[in-house]
Amino acid sequence: MQFPQVPFKPDPSLPPAEGCPWNFYRSSGDVRASYASVLGNLATVMPLHKANLSYPGCWAYPGAYVVRLSVRACPSVCGE
């Protein structure tokens, strides 16, 4: 089985093993270190939901790598 391209779009007309083989899929690429990127990634889920392409057993989720700040970059937030 090949891994799908991101963003993946399920095919509800196929059996689940072919149309959405992992029960969930990414709707966007990796998030960047900006608020606009986070909002942009979140916004990729709504069109899939409205088109009935995110549903129980085949959930769309936005890419969400954790962006970590160094202690030097955020002393007031990071506790030092």
pLDDT value, residue 32: 78
pLDDT greater than 70 at residue 55? yes
pTM of the predicted model, to two decimals?
0.60
Q: What is the mean pLDDT of the chain?
A: 75
Rounded percentage of the chain residues whose pLDDT exceeds 90: 1
CA torsion sign for 1, 26, 23, 52 is negative
Assign 1 a pLDDT band (cuts: 50, 70, 90). very low
Say whether pLDDT at 59 is over 80.
Answer: yes
User: Which spans in 1-80 are helix H?
Assistant: 16-19, 35-43, 45-50, 75-78
